[in-house]
């Protein structure tokens, strides 16, 4: 199943009266529910079953599909654009140097010291 096929199937189950604000709000709520499961496991030792997380992440995906549709966007296009952005940022694999502060050259350091 492609992202666009999922999006089309998800839209068949959506209330036609929902708006983008609802979809974006629920996207946040469902992501928080997935986080809550993991936090409870990590900090309170309350284990969750994998199918429970699959359900929560599925709800995130459903609301993302709905929001994208209401904004006139395709999930396939969003996914491809995101990978393109990540490759520009990191290359073909993760690049930790991207997250390091830039090093000042000697000229910039001298100018900063003179202030």
Where residue 95 sits, what CATH number does that domain have?
A: 1.10.287.1080
For 85-100, what is each residue's pLDDT tens digit? Answer: 999 888 888 777 777 7
Domain count, the chain: 1
CA 107 vs. chain centroid, Å, equals 39
Q: Residue 2: what are its φ and ψ, rounded to 5°?
A: -85, 170
Question: What's the whole-model pTM score?
Answer: 0.78
Residue 14 has pLDDT above 70, yes or no: yes
Q: How far, in Å, CA of 61 to CA of 7, rounded?
A: 9
pLDDT at 38 over 90: yes
Q: Is the pLDDT of residue 69 over 70?
A: yes
Element containing residue 89 per DSSP (H, E)? helix 75-90
pLDDT for 1 beyond 90? yes
User: Which pLDDT score, from 0 to 100, does residue 113 have?
Assistant: 54
The region of weakest confidence among 13-17, 65-69, 109-113 is 109-113
C-alpha distances out from residue 29 to 10, 32, 36, Å: 18, 5, 10
Domain that includes residue 110, residue range: 3-114
């Amino acid at each position: 199943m492609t992202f666009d096929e999922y999006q089309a199937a998800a839209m068949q189950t959506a209330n036609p009266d929902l708006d983008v604000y609802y979809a974006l709000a629920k996207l946040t709520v469902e992501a928080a529910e997935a986080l809550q499961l993991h936090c409870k496991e990590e900090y309170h030792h309350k284990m969750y079953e994998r199918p429970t997380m699959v359900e929560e992440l599925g709800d995130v995906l459903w609301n993302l599909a709905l929001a994208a549709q209401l904004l006139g966007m395709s999930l396939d296009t969003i996914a491809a654009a995101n990978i393109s952005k990540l490759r520009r940022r990191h290359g073909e694999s993760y690049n930790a140097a991207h997250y390091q502060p830039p090093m000042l050259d000697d000229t910039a350091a001298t100018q900063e010291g003179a202030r």
